[in-house]
Structure 1
Amino acid sequence: MFPKNGFTFIDILIGAALLIIVFTGILGAYQLGMKVVGQSKARTTAIALANQKIEMARNLSYQGVGTIGGIPAGQLNETEIITRNGAAYTVKTTVVYIDDSLDGLIPADAQPSDYKRVKVKVSWQGQFGGGLALLTDVAPKEIWSEAGGGMILISVFDAEGIGVPQANISITNSAVNPAINAWYLADNNGNLVLPGAPTSNENYQITASKAGFSTDRTYGAEETTNPLKPHVSVYDGRLAEASFSIDETGSFSVRTSGAKEQGYPAIPNVPFALRGAKIIGTDAQGAAVYKYSDNFLTNNDGELNVGNLEWDSYSFTVNKLATGFDLIGAESPLATTSTQPIDLLPNISREVRLILKAENSFLVTVKDEVSLQPIFGASIRIFNAGLGYDETYPSDENGRAFFIPLEAATYNLEIGASGYQIYTGNIFVSGDKALTVNLVASP
């Protein structure tokens, strides 16, 4: 007789695994090929669009080479969205004057507008998105060009005074004709030079920003009577300088709770105000106008994350008249007493605990009668019909619920938890009252 040969279960598993590896490789190669083809098609189209815009600039008169609403002003659109082959391409054009080093540089060079540089950036979205940029220089027929107007020198630096490369710079001025509304990128040292800016008195609104960074800008009298950094003025033949300071943003992780001796019980839904120390100017009465000031509310767990904050020194306040709470202290780091204001450095997240107190409070702790272990998620209700007070809180992981603020009075107490008998009773609350209730298991 011939032996019966067959496949074992292990053989089948190994064969299946090999097939999966082979087909996964084929699929990956196919996807890579599709990506290469897709990017190649998109890139070819993008190059064509960029070349078209470059040729358009070359065919304009030298005076016409510029963007609508830009410095220098001209006939080119700053931003366009063009659809080709069912895909949308964003075409962004910038034109700036270039100060050639052959005849000296600013400030020794009295005529820094030697020629214009046109940059066309084309980007596209989708599964295989990308982007590219083309540059060309356009020179006047004369040896040098008289741009007219004045010149703006913009510097953007971080918290340590180091230039921020490729910072976004927005410039608007509706008081000149044509009006200016343009975006530029600072160089690798955080600088931008704009010769040929039309003369205008305190009308150039300039903003410096970058993704993930804070924002700095100029201010007008309509925002603060006496701004520390007013809108920029440009005078004929003179240099106007403006500097801006931005850096990566940070955040506060805020908790509102009772005191340490109470075990830091969470206090939910507490409104608080947060204000930085930096000012943008003064009002008509000479009072400081702060750059950052906002109001917040912690959640049902007494927590809140406040993000996108500029590096600064921040003060937390709680309105006692509106909330019934006294802010008696702050901790940052947690369990470390801190004085206000609390410093926040760039790209840092700090935990802050705001410790609150009221004239009357009630801390309930619920435990198992036998094990004396805290019961999590027990429903704790206290109410007083005459006062119109009726609140129910779940116990936390420590078996606690904190009722604050309260009026001095007697309250009805009901506590229930799955698998336990319901507890009822009365409690007189005056000052800081605490009670531990041991629940009896259901029969």
Structure 2
Amino acid sequence: MKLPINLPNKGFTLIEIVLGIFIIAFISFFIFNIFQNINRVTLGGRLTLQLLSLLQDEMEKIRVLNYEDIGIQGGWPPGVLPREKIINKNGLEVKINFYIRNIDDSRDGTITSTPRDTAPADYKLVEIEGEILNSPLRIKKQTLYALIAPKTVEAITRNGSMFVQVIDAEGKPIKDARIKVDYLNEPQFTIQDVTDVWGVLRLIDIPTGINAYAIYVTKEGYSSERTYQKGEEYPNPVIPYQTVRSGELTTVTFQIDLLSKLKIKTQNIFCKSIPNVLFNLQGIKLINTDPPISKTNITTTTNENGEKELDIEFDSYFLKISDLRYVLNSSLPFLEDPFNVEPNKIYSYTLTLKNNSPKNLLVSVFDEAGNLIEGANVNLFKGNNLIATQKTGEEIYFEDDWSSGKYSSLSLGIDPQTFPGEVQLKDLGGFYSTSTEWLISKEIDFGTFNINYKKFSWSGNLPAGTSIKFQLASNNDNSTWNFVGPDGTSNTYFETQEFIIPSFLQNKRYLRYKIYLQTNDPLISPSLDKISISFSSACFSSGETLFQNLSPGEYYLEVIKEGYFFYTATTTISDENFYHEKVILTR
């Protein structure tokens, strides 16, 4: 009797198949990457060896030259070698740079020893640098060095030597700074080389000359420095063209460092960009002492977005708005005069501007710790007359004309048109409506939700039996307009000529006001001629205020802030258009 054999009839599930494919694909991808990296390393090594082989060939060619011919064409020491050349070999395009330097060996004395070496050019250092221009991979530059000595004892010359030292802002040496030296006497030549690890380029046994060497120093990403020719343009240069005398050593030091970035933005008090603003940036570093000539003196403009970026070197700078249309109202952060720039940093300043006036005085108020003080009362007197009272960190928006559609909507019985600059009830043929008539302003965009509304005030004519009252609405979407009174509901109104704007309306970018006019006598109408809103916001500085339209003369300044000592000062307004007074309050 045969027993039945039951074999399991079971295959792979879909999940198992997908998982298996994923594992195989992952392993294949991993193996592929390994092989790709191996091929990349192999190719990179082969290309590096080819580059070194080419450099070695060039070095061997130099070794068989006469010692007097080992030098740079048009350079120093002079010779037959080009400054650079391009070689095409085996499909590779290679750029080769040649550097030849005279070396002063310390074993027989040097140009700086006592006694001095009268023949300091003991031998030559040959440096060949190669770079593959068409490599599919990034191949590091390769450099070969060789010391080549003359076959005879070095001869005494009438030449001199020069050491060019390059340091950074902290006085530390800068390696591989690029130096270009032009010899201006005949025969003229040019030396292009780099500094060593001590930040020095040693030019040994070079021709003599009075003010005969023009030197230019820089490095990629760094500032630059140079010598200047003494003459009509620069009568007293800080670093003049250099002189080399026979048997003597000339040492000259240049200071460069990484460039910093300066970002300028120009806007109004509502954070709206102001485009194409002309400004001047002047550093305190001098290239000539008498008369003083600044190394950096840039006049430029912001772009169509009110922005400008500049690469500038370490220095202290004065920034001045030179555009006749505008005047500086405040800066964020505070713009010191001058402001200091350190190497390799980013400096961003937002300059809030106002329309220019004949004479302007900006007052900036600080505490002893250097913090701007908001809400300080600044009184400006001329003689015994109080000219103006303003608060730091506070601006005023006003409207005084609602004609020609300068409103959002209105009721039929109100008239902003007949007398421009005035809102009153409409003349209905010798009488006025005794109903409550209204006008809703256009939205006011304050530019930011980071805003603190202070006071609302108005002026006008209010005969007996008439009334003017307001409701306010604010939001951040510029669409939801719920007009309310002092209790936050639509059932109440602001009925005084000046009132504090409630907290529930704060931190809202957009604001509208609704005017209500009413009379009990159909022959009499109230009238409104101006509204004002004081506010502070993130669009301008919290501790500054600008006085405008001043006349020349001496002014007396009072600054008052609760908790601080009373401050007074005098300032004279004369020929300049812009004046700045920095005030420090003490406790």
TM range (shorter): 0.7 to 0.9
Q: Is the 8 A contact 1:149 1:235 kept in 2?
A: yes
Indicate how the Cα distance of structure 1 residues 270 and 60 shifts in structure 2: closer, same or farther if over 3 A, else same: same
Indicate how the Cα distance of structure 1 residues 11 and 50 shifts in structure 2: closer, same or farther if over 3 A, else same: same
In the other structure, the counterpart of 1:386 is: none
Where 2:38 maps in the other structure, the secondary structure is helix
Matched, 1:102 2:107: yes
Q: CA deviation at 1:46?
A: 1.6
1:226 to 215, 221, 236: 236
In the other structure, the counterpart of 1:292 is: 296
Structure 1 residue identity aligned to 2:200: N
2:28 to 8, 23, 28: 23
Q: CA deviation at 1:348?
A: 1.3
Indicate how the Cα distance of structure 1 residues 398 and 18 shifts in structure 2: closer, same or farther if over 3 A, else same: farther
Between the aligned partners of 1:279 and 1:430, the Cα distance in structure 2 is 52
Structure 2 residue identity aligned to 1:294: I
Structure 1 residue identity aligned to 2:287: I
Between the aligned partners of 1:317 and 1:100, the Cα distance in structure 2 is 54
Deviation by residue 1:238-263 (Cα, 9 ceiling, x = unmatched):
212111001111111212233xxx45
Q: CA deviation at 1:49?
A: 2.0
Indicate how the Cα distance of structure 1 residues 430 and 34 shifts in structure 2: closer, same or farther if over 3 A, else same: farther
In the other structure, the counterpart of 2:129 is: 121
Question: Identity of counterpart residues, as a percentage?
Answer: 27
2:164 to 142, 145, 154: 154
Where 1:130 maps in the other structure, the secondary structure is coil
Indicate how the Cα distance of structure 1 residues 352 and 61 shifts in structure 2: closer, same or farther if over 3 A, else same: same
Q: CA deviation at 1:339?
A: 2.5
1:16-415 to structure 2, matched below 5 A, reads 16-108=21-113, 109-110=116-117, 111-125=119-133, 126-128=135-137, 129-146=139-156, 148-177=158-187, 179-221=188-230, 224-258=234-268, 262=269, 264-281=271-288, 286-307=290-311, 309-321=312-324, 324-331=325-332, 334=333, 337-358=334-355, 365-366=444-445, 372-375=474-477
Give the greater-gyration-radius structure (CA).
2
Which shifted more, 117-126 or 217-226? Answer: 217-226
Q: CA deviation at 1:376?
A: 7.2
Q: Is the 8 A contact 1:216 1:244 kept in 2?
A: yes
In the other structure, the counterpart of 1:406 is: none
Q: Is the 8 A contact 1:96 1:118 kept in 2?
A: yes
Deviation by residue 1:331-372 (Cα, 9 ceiling, x = unmatched):
4xx2xx3431110001111121223221599897349x9983
Q: Is the 8 A contact 1:148 1:197 kept in 2?
A: no
Q: How many residues are paired up?
A: 376
Between the aligned partners of 1:151 and 1:190, the Cα distance in structure 2 is 17
Between the aligned partners of 2:102 and 2:472, the Cα distance in structure 1 is 83
Indicate how the Cα distance of structure 1 residues 46 and 148 shifts in structure 2: closer, same or farther if over 3 A, else same: farther
Q: CA deviation at 1:221?
A: 4.0
Where 2:164 maps in the other structure, the secondary structure is strand
Between the aligned partners of 1:432 and 1:228, the Cα distance in structure 2 is 55
Which shifted more, 34-43 or 76-85? Answer: 34-43
Where 1:227 maps in the other structure, the secondary structure is coil
Structure 2 residue identity aligned to 1:236: S
Structure 1 residue identity aligned to 2:45: S
Between the aligned partners of 1:330 and 1:247, the Cα distance in structure 2 is 27
Where 1:14 maps in the other structure, the secondary structure is helix
Q: CA deviation at 1:174?
A: 4.3
C-alpha RMSD of matched pairs (Å): 3.3
Between the aligned partners of 1:50 and 1:373, the Cα distance in structure 2 is 72
Where 2:50 maps in the other structure, the secondary structure is helix
Q: Is the 8 A contact 2:328 2:354 kept in 1?
A: yes
Q: CA deviation at 1:72?
A: 1.0
Between the aligned partners of 1:263 and 1:311, the Cα distance in structure 2 is 33
Q: Is the 8 A contact 1:362 1:429 kept in 2?
A: no
Indicate how the Cα distance of structure 1 residues 145 and 10 shifts in structure 2: closer, same or farther if over 3 A, else same: farther
Q: CA deviation at 1:314?
A: 1.1
In the other structure, the counterpart of 2:452 is: none
List gaps (5 residues or longer) in structure 2: 1-5, 358-395, 399-442, 447-470, 480-506, 512-528, 536-587
Q: Is the 8 A contact 1:98 1:116 kept in 2?
A: yes
Q: CA deviation at 1:287?
A: 3.2
Between the aligned partners of 1:376 and 1:152, the Cα distance in structure 2 is 70
Where 2:165 maps in the other structure, the secondary structure is strand
Between the aligned partners of 2:347 and 2:244, the Cα distance in structure 1 is 42
Q: CA deviation at 1:4?
A: 4.7
Q: Is the 8 A contact 1:114 1:145 kept in 2?
A: no
Between the aligned partners of 1:352 and 1:279, the Cα distance in structure 2 is 25
Structure 1 residue identity aligned to 2:336: T
Between the aligned partners of 1:58 and 1:41, the Cα distance in structure 2 is 26
Q: CA deviation at 1:265?
A: 4.5
Structure 1 residue identity aligned to 2:310: V
Structure with more of its chain in helix, by fraction: 1
Deviation by residue 1:78-98 (Cα, 9 ceiling, x = unmatched):
211111222211111111111
Q: Is the 8 A contact 1:359 1:432 kept in 2?
A: no
Q: CA deviation at 1:192?
A: 1.4
Which shifted more, 76-85 or 167-176? Answer: 167-176
